């Protein structure tokens, strides 16, 4: 928290690394909530998790919303051993929409070339997400560290056919944010990403906070664009949570 | 191409970041500049990249894509002459190291003669894989390293330890001829009086730093991998700040990413100066001097 505050971060939506491997998901969510309360009340906002591969995820979701008063949840399909074409995934989206929660979907936690050799994560088919998201009023879905899982063609479809949001964590190229917004990548043109759909993400403590803050400087953004990414878009999103 | 970078929209100081003047004061040398990387038009890409070089206050860039391509480093390409001219004309800003191929040592030495001995380049680069699957520790390399030593040329070795293979292990996913830090260690043991850079921190900095730790002639460079908090602290604790050099890896990596690795670390200002540029200047001072350029450390 001290590190985040040094860099003037005012609020952090926090997940738990335990969500990746734990089977007793509710205990993870409980510990996350308690830790956020204890260490950074009104600074850390807990984002619990559910795992579609484990039984009774609906109850875990209910407790996230009703018991822990979370604004949203974060899922990690590549670690949690379910795919986005899982038969219960549409039901998750419906429940999320019904409860007015934010759903964050993590593409990767780190570069797969760095994994410990005994860890073999799954592929994530984001096409399936798009198909499912079009069938429910899913306006609060955000992708985190998504870049290895979304190619240019799929990105175009996501931009045009959904309201899915993106984080900055792994936007990785010189002037990357501006290039996303303008749709001018180094290797050719792409569909421009509206700045309203980009939210700041630090990936701290795994990544230095400076990495994503400096992207706001490296790209020649306007003040309005920078402010939207830094907090404006997140504030708009969190306001909509019931 | 935009010529003069616009002012930053936000004040970096308000967010615990260095401003442009402070970035410039670090005297940052980007020892891993990929502006000429071939894919599209490497020359236009270089011109476009200079915008970000200026914007982030980089003092000098060292291109690692001079002559040929990374895939075919020994095959002359149409852009070679333009690169040659740029290196001659923009000496205050840009230097170059040439990719070589240890599968072809004689041809590699011929390229070194052309571009380093008789040209503006200051070093060689071992790229990430090659046609004959020759890593940097193979005896083929002895001719190349001896010649590099004679020229006072910088030696940059791309290293990774990609997880893969059966059974899965770090390095098991490497391409044929793609060196690991263990290969660098073997080469460094054979040439204790030759300095060389273990590039990309092996992509696996915890293991890589341990692999090269005993070899004082090995420098360590972090570019091209995700920024992991604590990685530079770890390397400095293990190797010392004098053995770390810095690279930007743009355009495929953001300067933001690479700068953050050093800014995040718990270092003194002097240690940051060393990592951002002083150590690379020390490494290449002699070859710059041979070419008539005095480098102030």
Note the pLDDT of residue A12: 98
Cβ B280 vs Cβ B245: under 8 Å? yes
Cβ B228 vs Cβ A113: under 8 Å? no
> Rounded mean pLDDT of A202-216?
98
Note the pLDDT of residue B2: 53
Residue contact A218–B204, C-beta within 8 A? no
Vertex A152: Cα angle to B6 and B174 (nearest 5): 95
CB-CB neighbors (< 8 A) of B48 in chain A: 186
The alpha carbon of residue A63 is apart from the nearest alpha carbon of chain B, in Å, by: 33
Residue B222: φ, ψ to 5°: -105, -5
Q: What's the fold here for domain B24-290?
A: TIM Barrel (3.20.20)
pLDDT range class, residue A188, cuts 50, 70, 90: confident
Backbone angle region of A86, left / alpha / beta, with phi > 0 → left and psi within -120 to 50 → alpha = beta
- Whole-Å CA distances, A72 to A99, B63, B120, B210, B242: 9, 45, 57, 41, 46
Cβ A94 vs Cβ A125: under 8 Å? no
- Whole-Å CA distances, A200 to A50, A166, B9, B52, B156: 23, 9, 16, 21, 35
Cα–Cα distance for residue pair B83/B76, rounded to 1 Å: 12
CB-CB neighbors (< 8 A) of B228 in chain A: 206-207
Out of A114, A205, A217, closest to residue B203 by CB: A114
Q: Where are the domains of chain B?
A: 24-290
Tell me which residue of B250, B235, B219 sits closest to B49, measured CA to CA: B250
CB-CB neighbors (< 8 A) of B14 in chain A: 8
The alpha carbon of residue A226 is apart from the nearest alpha carbon of chain B, in Å, by: 7
Note the pLDDT of residue B260: 98
The alpha carbon of residue B210 is apart from the nearest alpha carbon of chain A, in Å, by: 16
pLDDT range class, residue A97, cuts 50, 70, 90: very high
Note the pLDDT of residue B297: 94
The reported pTM is 0.96
Terminal Cα distance for chain A, rounded: 26
For residue B162, the cross-strand partners are none
Residue contact B260–A8, C-beta within 8 A? no
Cα–Cα distance for residue pair B38/B157, rounded to 1 Å: 19
- Residue A42: which residues within 8 A CB-CB, separation 6 or more? A11
What pairing do the DSSP bridges indicate for beta strands A188-189 and A184-185?
Answer: antiparallel
A235 vs B: CB within 8 A: no
Note the pLDDT of residue B3: 61
pLDDT in tens, A100-125: 999 999 999 999 999 999 998 998 88
Note the pLDDT of residue A137: 78
The DSSP code for B214 is: T
What b-and-e string marks burial along B103-130, b requiring 16 or more CB atoms within 10 Å of the CB? Answer: bbbeebbebbebbbeebbbbbbbbbbbb
CB-CB neighbors (< 8 A) of B170 in chain A: 117
Note the pLDDT of residue B224: 96
pLDDT in tens, A124-183: 889 999 999 998 877 899 999 999 999 999 999 999 999 999 999 999 999 999 999 999
What is this model's ipTM? Answer: 0.95
Going from the N-terminus, what domains does chain A have, and what CATH number goes with each? Answer: 2-239 (3.20.20.140)
Note the pLDDT of residue A139: 86
How would you write the pLDDT of chain B (297 residues) with one tens digit per residue?
556 788 899 999 999 999 999 999 999 999 999 999 988 899 999 999 999 999 999 999 999 999 999 999 999 999 999 999 999 999 999 999 999 999 999 999 999 999 999 999 999 999 999 999 999 999 999 999 999 999 999 999 999 999 999 999 999 999 999 999 999 999 999 999 999 999 999 999 999 999 999 999 999 999 999 999 999 999 999 999 999 999 999 999 999 999 999 999 999 999 999 999 999 999 999 999 999 999 999
Percent of chain A with pLDDT over 70: 100
Note the pLDDT of residue A231: 97
Q: What is the mean pLDDT of chain A?
A: 95
């Amino acid at each position: 928290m001290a590190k985040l505050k040094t860099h003037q971060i005012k609020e952090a939506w926090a997940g738990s690394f335990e969500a990746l491997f734990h089977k007793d998901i509710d205990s993870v969510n409980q510990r996350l909530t308690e830790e956020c309360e204890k260490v950074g009340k009104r600074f850390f906002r807990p984002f619990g998790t559910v795992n579609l591969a484990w039984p009774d995820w609906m109850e875990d979701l209910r407790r996230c919303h009703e018991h822990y008063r979370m604004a949203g949840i974060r899922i990690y399909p590549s670690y949690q051993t379910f795919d986005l074409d899982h038969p219960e995934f549409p039901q998750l989206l419906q429940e999320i929409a019904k409860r007015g929660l934010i759903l964050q979907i993590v593409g990767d936690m780190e570069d797969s070339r760095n994994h410990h050799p005994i860890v073999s994560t799954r592929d994530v088919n984001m096409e399936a997400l798009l198909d499912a998201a079009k069938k429910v009023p899913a306006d609060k879905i955000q992708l985190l560290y998504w870049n290895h899982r979304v190619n240019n063609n799929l990105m175009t479809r996501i931009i045009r056919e959904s309201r899915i949001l993106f984080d900055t964590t792994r936007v990785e190229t010189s002037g990357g944010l501006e290039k996303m917004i303008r749709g001018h990548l180094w290797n050719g043109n792409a569909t421009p990403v509206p700045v309203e759909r980009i939210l700041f993400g630090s990936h701290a403590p795994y990544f230095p906070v400076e990495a994503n803050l400096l992207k706001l400087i490296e790209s020649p953004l306007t003040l309005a664009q920078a402010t939207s990414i830094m907090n404006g878009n997140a504030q708009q999103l969190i306001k909509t949570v019931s | 191409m935009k010529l003069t970078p616009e002012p930053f929209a936000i004040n970096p100081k308000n967010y615990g970041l260095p401003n442009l003047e402070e970035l410039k004061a670090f005297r940052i040398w980007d020892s891993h500049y990929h502006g000429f990387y071939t894919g599209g038009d490497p020359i236009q890409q270089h011109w476009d990249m200079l915008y970000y070089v200026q914007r982030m206050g980089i003092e000098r860039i060292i291109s690692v894509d001079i002559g040929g391509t990374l895939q075919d480093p020994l095959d002359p390409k149409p852009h070679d002459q333009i690169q040659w001219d740029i290196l001659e004309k923009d000496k205050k800003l840009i230097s170059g190291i040439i990719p070589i191929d240890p599968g072809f040592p004689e041809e590699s030495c011929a390229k070194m003669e052309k571009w380093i001995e008789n040209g503006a380049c200051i070093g060689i680069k071992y790229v990430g894989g090659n046609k004959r699957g020759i890593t940097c520790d193979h005896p083929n390399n002895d001719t190349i390293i001896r010649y590099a030593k004679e020229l006072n040329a910088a030696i940059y070795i791309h290293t990774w330890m990609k997880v893969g293979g059966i059974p899965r292990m770090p390095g098991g996913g490497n391409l044929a001829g793609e060196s690991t830090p263990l290969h660098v260690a073997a080469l460094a043991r054979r040439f204790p009086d030759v300095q060389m850079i273990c590039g990309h921190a092996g992509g696996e900095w915890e293991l890589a730093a341990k692999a090269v730790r005993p070899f004082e002639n090995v420098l360590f460079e972090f570019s091209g991998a995700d920024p992991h908090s604590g990685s530079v602290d770890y390397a400095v604790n293990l190797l010392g700040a004098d053995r770390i050099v810095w690279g930007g890896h743009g355009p495929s990596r953001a300067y933001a990413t690479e700068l953050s690795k050093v800014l995040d670390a718990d270092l003194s200002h002097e240690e940051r100066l060393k990592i951002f540029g002083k150590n690379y200047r020390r490494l290449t001072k002699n070859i710059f001097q041979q070419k008539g350029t005095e480098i102030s450390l």
